[in-house]
Structure 1
Amino acid sequence: MVYLPPYIFTRAHRAGLFTLIHWYCIWGILLFGFHSSLVFADSIENSSNSKARIVYYPGSDSNYNNDSRNHFYIELLKKALNASGEQYQVKELGRGFSATRQFQLIQRGDLSVAWNFSDPERDPSFRQIPFPIDRGLMGWRLLLVRDNQQAAFSEITQISELAHLRCGQGQAWQDTKILQHNELSVSPTPSYEGLFKMLQTGHIDYLPRSILEIYSELNNHQHLNLAIDKHLMIYYPTAFYYFVNKENAELANAIERGLQTLYARGEFDKLFWQYHGDSITQANIKNRKILKLNNPFLSDENRNNLYRYWLPLPP
C-alpha cells in the first residue's frame, strides 16, 4: 500500500471536491424531477385512454390502398364523436368486409359502426342515426362504361331505352332492388372487384356509381380501359346513414349529438365540400340528361330527413 502524507490533500482540493459534490446533488434533483414529471404525465395519459371507449369501423372493401371512398365517412365519424362531449377512440377493425358481413359483425359486437343505405328489411335489427351523411349524393349516379362504347349512351333520353342495356350491381346492395323495381336490367354479383372485370369483358354494359365514388374507382381501374359516360345521370332519392348495434343507444346518441353539433357550427358543410366539391363540379350535372327513378324502399321518416339535409339537383 502506498502512503500519502496528509499535506498532499490541500484545502484547495477539499474545496474542489465539495463543489463537485454540490453540482452532482443539483443535477440529481433536476433529473429526478424530470423523470417524475414524465411518469406523472404518462399516468395521466394512460388514465385518460383507459376511460375512452373504442369504436371500431370497417376499412375499405376493395384491394386498393389508395381507395378514398370511405375517407369522408371516417373523418366525419371522428369529428362527430369528438364533438359529442364523450371520450372515444376510433380504430379500423379490418378491410374487405362486404356490407352483409359488416352488419353481421355489428350484431356480434365486433364492429361498432358502419355506414350504408337504409333498408326496411334490415333496419329494425339495428339502430340508425337519423342524419343523411352523404346529403343524398349516393343517389346521384353516373355511368362507368367501356371507353369504346360511349357512343351507345349518347342518344338515350329515357329509362325504357336504358333498360335494353345490362348494368352490374352488388348482390346485396340496396341499389339493386331500386334499379330492378324501375325495370332496368341488372346482373348482380357478390364480388365488388368482379363488377369492373364484368364491365371490361362485356358481361355488363355499364356500372352506375355515385359521383362520390366513381372518380376514385375509375382512377383505381385505369388498366381496364373504362370511362365515365358524359351524357347521362341516374337519380333516385336515397342516402347513407351510420348504423350501430340496436342495444348501443349510448354510441348512437353520441354520434347523432356530434353530427348535429357539427351541422350547427357549419363544420359538417365545410368537411363535405372539402371532400366532395371537386367531384360535384367535375360531374357537370347541369349539362347531363337526368333519368329519375322511384325508390319505394325509402321510409317516410328517412325521406323527410333526406329533404331536410339534402343537396338539391340543379334546375
Structure 2
Amino acid sequence: MLLTLLIFFLQLLAGAWVARAETAPLLIRHALGQEQQAKVLTYEQAVLRLLLDKTIPSHGPYQLQPSAVVSQSRAFLQLASGELDVVSSMSTSSRESQGIPIRVCLYRGLLGVRLPISLSSRSERFESVSSLAQAQAFKLAQVADWPDTQILHANGWHVERIPRLSTFPEMLKRERIDLFALGAIEVFPIVDALPELIVLEHWLIAYPSAYYFFVNSKKPELAQRLRQGWDLVLADGSFAALFEQWVGPQLARAKLAERRWLVLRNPELPAETPVQDSRLWHPLVRSRLLRAVGEH
C-alpha cells in the first residue's frame, strides 16, 4: 500500500514538472539596433513583442532578455556563435549568411531615406544643394560598421568612418565633417537633444534598404514563429497601427514628399529582398526607390 502511494505521489510530481516545463516561457536573447537601455521600450522591441504576443496561442509564452549594448558587427558575431537569438539590422548579403533573415522590413524601407544633419550656423550653405554631385562635394560621416557606409562609398561619396554614433556631433561642431545622415524615422529625437545642430529641410539621400529581424541559424522554430507573427499582424492591421503610433509623428515632421530626393543605388541589397510585395513598403519607398529595383 505504501509503495503504491509512493509511486502515485512520484507520478503526480513528474506530471507537475512536465506541465511546468511545457508552459515555461521561451527565453529569447536579443540585441536590437535601436535600443540603448534594457528598461526602455523601443519601437523595435515593441514590434518584436507584437509578433511574439500574436503567436502565444500557437507557440506559448516567452521572455525577452536584452544583451549589453554592442556594435552591429559584434551582435552578428554573437548571433552566429549562438550567444544571441535575435538581432535587428539593415540587411546585406553578408548579414543574411550569418543568421536567418525574417524578410519584412520593420521600417517599411524608410531607414534608407536619410536626412542630412549639419551645424545650424552652416546650414544655409548646405541647403542650396540641388544635385548629387553638389552633395558629394561635402564631407559626410557614417558609423564604420553600418551598411550605409559601404552604400555611400559605392556611390562615390567620400565617407569619414567613425567608430560609434555618439561621435558625430562633436565632429560637426569642430567642422571635421560637413554632414551626417540619419534615417527619416530616427533623426529628430536625436538631433532635438543636440544644441547647435539642425536637420536640413530641402533635400535628402535615399537608397533601397530593408531592415529585418535576424534569427540564430540554430533556432529555425523561432524564425518560423516570427514569420507567422508577421503574417498575422500584416493581415489584422496591428502592425500598421503600431507603425503609425511610433513612426507617424517623425514622418509628418520630415515632410519627405516636399524634399529633393538624391537617389543612390544599393549594391548591398540582397537579391531575395521582396521588393514586389506592396504590403511591406511605404508608398514613397515603392514609387521612388523600389520600382527601378523590381524592373531589373
- TM score, norm. by length of structure 2: 0.83
| AA at the equivalent of 1:312 | P
Change (3 A) 1:88 1:176: farther
- Of 195, 200, 210 in structure 2, the residue corresponding to residue 239 of structure 1 is 210
- Of 269, 283, 292 in structure 2, the residue corresponding to residue 298 of structure 1 is 269
Change (3 A) 1:93 1:233: same
Change (3 A) 1:49 1:264: same
Q: 1: distance between equivalents of 2:167 and 2:151?
A: 21
- TM score, norm. by length of structure 1: 0.78
| Pairing 1:100-249 to 2, within 5 Å after superposition | 100-222=73-195, 225-249=196-220
* Aligned CA-pair RMSD: 2.5
Q: 2: distance between equivalents of 1:149 and 1:101?
A: 35
Q: 2: distance between equivalents of 1:305 and 1:217?
A: 32
Q: 2: distance between equivalents of 1:241 and 1:160?
A: 31
Q: 2: distance between equivalents of 1:61 and 1:194?
A: 17
Q: Is the 8 A contact 1:59 1:95 kept in 2?
A: no
Q: Please tell me whether residue 81 in structure 1 is matched to residue 81 in structure 2.
A: no
Q: Is the 8 A contact 2:33 2:89 kept in 1?
A: no
| AA at the equivalent of 2:135 | L
- Of 268, 286, 299 in structure 1, the residue corresponding to residue 257 of structure 2 is 286
Q: 1: distance between equivalents of 2:112 and 2:128?
A: 22
After superposition, give the CA deviation of every residue in 1:120-176 in whole Å (9 maximum; x if it has no partner): 123112110111111001011111111111111222111111111011111111101
Q: 1: distance between equivalents of 2:230 and 2:257?
A: 30
Q: 2: distance between equivalents of 1:67 and 1:306?
A: 35
| Pairing 1:57-68 to 2, within 5 Å after superposition | 57-58=30-31
User: How far off is 1:61 after superposition?
Assistant: 6.9
Q: Which has the larger radius of gyration?
A: 1
- Of 6, 21, 26 in structure 2, the residue corresponding to residue 53 of structure 1 is 26
| Corresponding residue pairs, total | 268
Which residues of structure 2 form unaligned runs of 5+? 1-15, 289-296
Q: 2: distance between equivalents of 1:60 and 1:182?
A: 24
User: How far off is 1:189 after superposition?
Assistant: 1.4
Q: 1: distance between equivalents of 2:28 and 2:186?
A: 25
